[in-house]
């Protein structure tokens, strides 16, 4: 049998085919195991919120500009203490959730696999564009594939690879946008400029933090114009349309927030003092060491990237000594774009510092992709022996390095999906509650008060009804305030998990002692609020 010639693969497209195959195989391996899992484990709160938005489009007649969840009392403003009268919420441009809603209608199912499946497809497409981008940066399909393998085996990315959060789909748009821009930068075809700005603008609209990449590209192009490497001629339509789209939706989103409230944070959270800086840093380090959230990069990946960066630095310094006037100085290097982008992301980190304590996906939204971009540039600087032997040697290195990275990510994903999880308990307790409430004659239009169930939208998704969420946050004092306010909400029934009554009756008796139990299914109790005390203990509650 004739031996495989790596060099011929590079030139006849077989390298791209192998890369696509690797992306699909690894992607399906890591993205399908939990494909039909309900929102649970790390950041189940945010997961259920976005899941509810997709379901909300089916409920509101597919009105893209009025996203809604299942709860009337929102977090902002008022920390769930205000009844806004509707379930509409401000949100980053929810085009992905809208598509999911359409897919749910097409497949006749609202099961989690529809949402996760769409995210998985977006992630696979994003990795393909990352490969194309890195191939242009490194001029080697093997080096590009190495970057993609680092990306897909990053524990953080793998967790959100087929998740409910918009981080991975937004990243896919940015990856495609950067590929288009680098192609424009190399070939000077204006069509790719328009495509790049369009994709990057849409990425920024779906995940506001991704606006940094768009600004970085704009800043880099402005420097090129000032240096007369290019002109502004022909570029303005994309800039104008992108700016109008982003600005217009920001104004609309502000309107939604002012009128309907929001379940999403909409303000900056920089450190207030040096203690904040230290506390957040220590928390991030601790969480990374313990693996409670997705590791930004695996330990082997970290050492590998350090080695690549060091080797690239050495090679670059040696080349710099030998070249008195390098040809590249005549044109702004793409590394300057990476530097501008990274600086912008570091500013974002400072602006949202306090969110990094327990929100690992913020790293995915800012510094994760720039790190991969730098790794691609570093790999470009490292020479590989020419000829088939050199290509085979590089292929062997890529394959050998992939094994420990794959093992690390598999172990990390297993750890992230095991152990006690309150969101999983909530799912198991509320599973089938929609039919149970139907059997008790509770209308689908009835407003339900959910008592201390976590996360906030999950009970309502499973009950198939809307209502008010009382969810523990911060201190017991905050909960007491919310309980007092919740008693005044205009709800028809209250649903409480039975174990909550046993565990929290004395602590939160202000509300529980006034609840009259009218039905139960061994996991949940359906209640009505009474004007007077009707039970003095958990036993009284269940013996009514």
What digits encode the pLDDT tens for the residues 433-444? 999 999 999 999
pLDDT mean across residues, the chain: 90
SS3 488: coil
Q: β-strands 524-529, 493-497: how paired? A: antiparallel
Q: What is the dihedral of CA 344, 291, 299, 158, to 10 degrees?
A: -70
Angle at which helices 14-31 and 387-416 cross, to 10°: 10
Give the model's pLDDT for residue 508: 84
At residue 480, does pLDDT exceed 80?
no
Residues 6+ apart with CB under 8 A from 99: 118
At residue 495, does pLDDT exceed 50?
yes
At residue 325, does pLDDT exceed 60?
no
Parse the chain into domains and list their residue ranges.
6-267+278-416, 423-542
Per-residue burial over 32-71, b if 16 or more Cβ lie within 10 Å, else e, is eebbebbbbbbbbbbbbbbbbbbbbbeebeeeeebbbbbb
Q: How far is CA 401 from CA 288, 294, 406, in A?
A: 22, 20, 9
Percent of the chain with pLDDT over 90: 71
At residue 117, does pLDDT exceed 70?
yes
Q: What is the 3-state secondary structure (H, E, C) of 192-206?
A: HHHHHHHHHHHHHHH
As a whole number, mean pLDDT of residues 109-120 equals: 97
Give the model's pLDDT for residue 478: 65
Distance CA 31, CA 118 (A): 11
Please state whether 332 falls in left (phi above 0), alpha (psi between -120 and 50) or beta: beta
Judge contact between 166 and 58, C-beta under 8 A: no
Give the model's pLDDT for residue 62: 97
Smallest CA-to-CA distance from 224 within 364, 308, 336 is with 336
Give the model's pLDDT for residue 212: 97
Give the model's pLDDT for residue 397: 87
Judge contact between 498 and 523, C-beta under 8 A: yes
pLDDT tens-digit readout, 345-354: 999 999 999 9
Higher pLDDT, 392 or 293: 392
Alpha-carbon dihedral sign for residues 3, 6, 12, 16: positive
As a whole number, mean pLDDT of residues 206-229 equals: 95
Distance CA 512, CA 517 (A): 10
* CB-count exposure of residue 99 (10 Å: 0-12, 13-18, 19+): middle
Neighbours of 211 (CB within 10 A): 19
Give the model's pLDDT for residue 470: 86
What confidence tier does 4 reach under pLDDT thresholds 50, 70, 90?
very low
Edge-first strand order for the sheet with 467-470 is: 467-470, 448-451, 493-497, 524-529, 515-520
At residue 8, does pLDDT exceed 80?
no
Kindly report the length of the chain.
544
SS3 176: helix
Angle at which helices 190-206 and 211-226 cross, to 10°: 150
What confidence tier does 328 reach under pLDDT thresholds 50, 70, 90?
very low
Please state whether 69 falls in left (phi above 0), alpha (psi between -120 and 50) or beta: beta
Give the model's pLDDT for residue 417: 86
What confidence tier does 10 reach under pLDDT thresholds 50, 70, 90?
very low
* CB-count exposure of residue 219 (10 Å: 0-12, 13-18, 19+): middle
Please state whether 33 falls in left (phi above 0), alpha (psi between -120 and 50) or beta: alpha
What confidence tier does 461 reach under pLDDT thresholds 50, 70, 90?
very high
What confidence tier does 472 reach under pLDDT thresholds 50, 70, 90?
low
Distance CA 44, CA 421 (A): 10
Neighbours of 399 (CB within 10 A): 11
At residue 239, does pLDDT exceed 90?
yes
Angle at Cα 259 formed by Cα 245 and Cα 444, nearest 5°?
Answer: 105
What are the residues facing 528 on neighbouring strands? 516
Read off the pTM.
Answer: 0.93
Angle at Cα 61 formed by Cα 59 and Cα 63, nearest 5°?
Answer: 105
At residue 306, does pLDDT exceed 50?
yes
Least confident of 166-180, 369-383, 476-490: 476-490
Give the model's pLDDT for residue 114: 98
Smallest CA-to-CA distance from 202 within 190, 211, 212 is with 211
Q: What is the DSSP string of 421-460?
A: -HHHHHHHHHTTHHHHHHHTT--TT--EEEES-SSSSHHH
What confidence tier does 327 reach under pLDDT thresholds 50, 70, 90?
very low
Instruction: Provide, for the chain, the percentages of residues in helix, strand and coil under a 3-state DSSP scheme, each rounded to the nearest 5.
Output: 65, 5, 30
At residue 450, does pLDDT exceed 60?
yes
Give the model's pLDDT for residue 2: 41
Give the model's pLDDT for residue 484: 81
Higher pLDDT, 3 or 177: 177
């Amino acid at each position: 049998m004739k031996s495989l010639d790596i060099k011929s693969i590079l030139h006849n497209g077989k390298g791209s085919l192998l890369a696509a195959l690797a992306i699909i195989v690894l992607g399906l391996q890591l993205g399908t195991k939990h494909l039909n899992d309900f929102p649970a484990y790390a950041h189940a709160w945010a997961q259920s919120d976005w899941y509810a938005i997709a379901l909300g489009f089916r409920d509101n007649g597919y009105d893209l500009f009025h996203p809604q969840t299942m709860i009337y009392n929102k977090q902002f403003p008022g920390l769930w203490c205000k009844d806004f009268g509707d379930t509409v919420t401000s949100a980053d441009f929810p085009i992905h959730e809208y598509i999911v809603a359409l897919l749910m209608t097409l497949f006749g199912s609202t099961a989690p696999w529809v949402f996760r499946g769409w995210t998985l497809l977006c992630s696979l497409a994003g990795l393909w564009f990352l490969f194309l981008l890195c191939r242009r940066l490194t001029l080697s399909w093997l080096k590009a594939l190495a970057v993609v393998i680092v990306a897909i085996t990053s524990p953080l990315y793998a967790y959100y690879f087929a998740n409910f959060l918009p981080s991975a789909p937004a990243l896919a748009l940015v990856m495609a946008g950067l590929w288009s821009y680098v192609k424009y930068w190399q070939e000077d075809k204006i069509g790719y400029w328009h495509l790049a700005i369009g994709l990057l603008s849409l990425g920024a609209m779906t995940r506001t933090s991704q606006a940094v990449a768009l600004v970085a590209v704009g800043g880099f192009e402005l420097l090129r114009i000032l240096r007369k490497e290019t002109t502004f001629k022909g570029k303005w339509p994309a800039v104008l349309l992108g700016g109008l789209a982003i600005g217009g939706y920001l104004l609309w989103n502000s309107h939604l927030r002012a009128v309907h409230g929001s379940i999403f944070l909409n303000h900056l959270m920089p450190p207030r003092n040096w203690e904040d800086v230290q506390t957040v840093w220590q928390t991030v380090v601790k969480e990374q060491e313990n693996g409670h959230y997705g590791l930004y990069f695996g330990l082997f990946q970290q050492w590998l990237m350090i080695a690549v960066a060091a080797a690239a630095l050495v090679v670059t310094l040696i080349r710099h000594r030998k070249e008195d006037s390098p040809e590249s100085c005549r044109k702004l290097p793409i590394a300057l774009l990476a530097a501008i982008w990274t600086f912008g992301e570091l500013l974002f980190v400072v602006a949202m510092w306090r969110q990094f304590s327990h929100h690992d996906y913020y790293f995915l939204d800012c510094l994760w992709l720039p790190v991969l971009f730098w790794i691609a540039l570093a790999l470009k600087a490292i020479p590989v022996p020419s000829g088939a032997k050199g290509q085979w040697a590089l292929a062997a290195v890529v394959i050998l390095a992939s094994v420990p990275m794959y093992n690390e990510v598999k172990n990390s994903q297993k750890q992230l999906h095991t152990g006690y999880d309150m969101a999983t308990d909530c799912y198991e307790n509320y599973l089938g509650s929609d039919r149970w409430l139907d059997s008790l004659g509770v209308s689908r239009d009835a407003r339900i008060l959910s008592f201390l169930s976590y996360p906030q939208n999950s009970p309502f998704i499973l009950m198939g009804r809307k209502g008010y969420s009382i969810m523990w946050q911060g201190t017991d004092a905050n909960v007491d305030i919310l309980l007092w306010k919740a008693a005044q909400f205009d709800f028809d029934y209250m649903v409480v998990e039975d174990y909550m009554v046993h565990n929290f009756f004395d602590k939160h008796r202000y509300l529980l002692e006034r609840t009259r139990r009218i039905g139960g299914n061994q996991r949940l109790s359906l209640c009505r609020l009474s004007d007077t005390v009707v039970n003095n203990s958990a036993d009284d509650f269940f013996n009514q």
